[in-house]
Amino acid sequence: MSKPAELLNRIYAAGLPSVEDLEEVLSWQGRVELGELFVFADKVRKDFCGDGVILRGIIEFSNFCDRECFYCGLNKNNRRLERYRMDKDELSNAIEYLVSCNIKTVVLQSGDGKWLDTLWLKEVIENIKSRFDMAITLSVGERSADDYRVWRQAGADRYLLKIETSDEGLYSSMHPKMDFKQRLACLGVLQNLGYQVGSGNIVGLSGQTLKTIARDIIFFKRGNFDMIGIGPFIPHQDTEFAGQPKGDAQLSLKTIALTRIVTKNTHIPATTALGSLDKDYRLDGLKCGANVLMPNFTPQPYRKLYEIYPQKRCVSEPVGSCRSCMDGIAKDLGRFIDYSKADSFKLTGDRYV
Ligand code: SAH
């Protein structure tokens, strides 16, 4: 067996791989080694998740945010950004459209903050659940356990709350007035309430090293998350991190591949950020471990205002050009679009590890 193959097999077989082994793979640059990594990860994806490319339609219903994250264009100190909040009718129309495209998961995402009324979102959830047979994922940041409970009882199925980086010091350096332990506590509460929970990181954050990324992957494994979103950092001109270099596409792909090999059956999206670099790397992501796409169903004119980073993929495409685009991507890969709700493999016990 070649040396790279030996290392990959050891990582695959380990209950919890070592930081050093992961770091070594993350440092690979050669075509042959990277080829082995990506083929290995693609095989693990096929064995544990099959050939279906799962769809999650995302609606970014507000860009108001009370946080000051140094990398994010929605941070409250960005006064250049025009803020919006979709009303119930607008949201309902966007969801009807998404349903008409045969998509069975809606991700409702927004900035964080008290402006988001608990009961308003509860009613939105109840309304969707009473009208459609579909899964609801929330991604509205850190809230109280009571809020999470109310929304879960109203019918929300899943929750996305990325750790961004699992390094507490690094986390604190870019999240003023936020507490790493609080974020961990939120993830624990969400899991205990029975949400399918997604975490993830940003690759290429200032101060991040290969070791930190290796530890992120261990964090993902330990957390037994249902989904892991991995995307490159993209600088935004109106943030503290303006002028920082972009995250590296190869390193993001390596992180995706290793996360697949280590966590086996989690859902891993080829993220919008991965599609928003110098070219669209989402296809590459799907070839090295990813099994999910997240088409954007935020209606214009709001879509261009949800500017977490600039030049976001699909920002000017008309809503609904997604379906043919998604089918095209799956076909190019010799795979198919899975139009089911596609719950977590960990929940359904399907190919459970
Ligand atoms: N308020 C929600 C949603 C945040 S936006 C929450 O806190 O969970 C969704 C994701 O966008 C974030 O989790 C972060 O990983 C990503 N993001 C924000 N700014 C980014 C940037 N400049 N480059 C890459 N990803 C970014």
Our answer on whether the CB atom of 216 is closer than 6 Å to any ligand 1 atom is no
Q: Residues 207-225: what's their mean pLDDT?
A: 98
With a pLDDT cut of 70, the percent of the chain lying above it is: 96
CATH at residue 90: 3.20.20.70
Q: Within a domain: residue 133? A: yes
| Total structural domains within the chain | 1
Our answer on whether the CB atom of 61 is closer than 6 Å to any ligand 1 atom is no
Name residue 54's beta-bridge partners. 292, 338
pLDDT tens column, 118-130: 999 999 999 999 9
Q: Within a domain: residue 317? A: yes
Q: Within a domain: residue 264? A: yes
Our answer on whether the CB atom of 141 is closer than 6 Å to any ligand 1 atom is yes
Q: Within a domain: residue 352? A: no
- pLDDT score, position 326: 83
- pLDDT score, position 320: 60
**Alpha-carbon distance 197 to 8, whole Å?**
27
Q: Within a domain: residue 16? A: yes
Q: Residues 222-232: what's their mean pLDDT?
A: 98
* Domain range enclosing 60: 3-342
Q: Within a domain: residue 349? A: no
Q: Within a domain: residue 353? A: no
Q: Looking at the predicted structure, is the pLDDT value of residue 85 above 90?
A: yes
Mutate to test the pocket of ligand 1, among 68, 71, 116, 201 (most ligand atoms within 8 A of CB): 71
pLDDT tens column, 6-33: 999 999 999 999 999 999 999 999 999 9
Nearest protein Cα to ligand 1, atom 12? 162
Q: Within a domain: residue 350? A: no
- pLDDT score, position 315: 66
Our answer on whether the CB atom of 164 is closer than 6 Å to any ligand 1 atom is yes
Closest alpha carbon to 265 in 286, 241, 239, 289: 289
- pLDDT score, position 352: 38
* Residue appearing with tokens 């986390």: 171
Q: Residues 87-95: what's their mean pLDDT?
A: 97
- CA distance to 21, 165, 239, 309, 328, per residue, from 76 (Å): 40, 21, 10, 14, 38
**CA 105 to centroid of ligand 1, rounded, Å:** 20
**CA 218 to centroid of ligand 1, rounded, Å:** 21
**Alpha-carbon distance 152 to 339, whole Å?**
24
- pLDDT score, position 327: 85
> pLDDT tier at 163 (50, 70, 90 boundaries)?
very high
Our answer on whether the CB atom of 234 is closer than 6 Å to any ligand 1 atom is yes
- pLDDT score, position 40: 98
Mean residue pLDDT of the chain comes to: 95
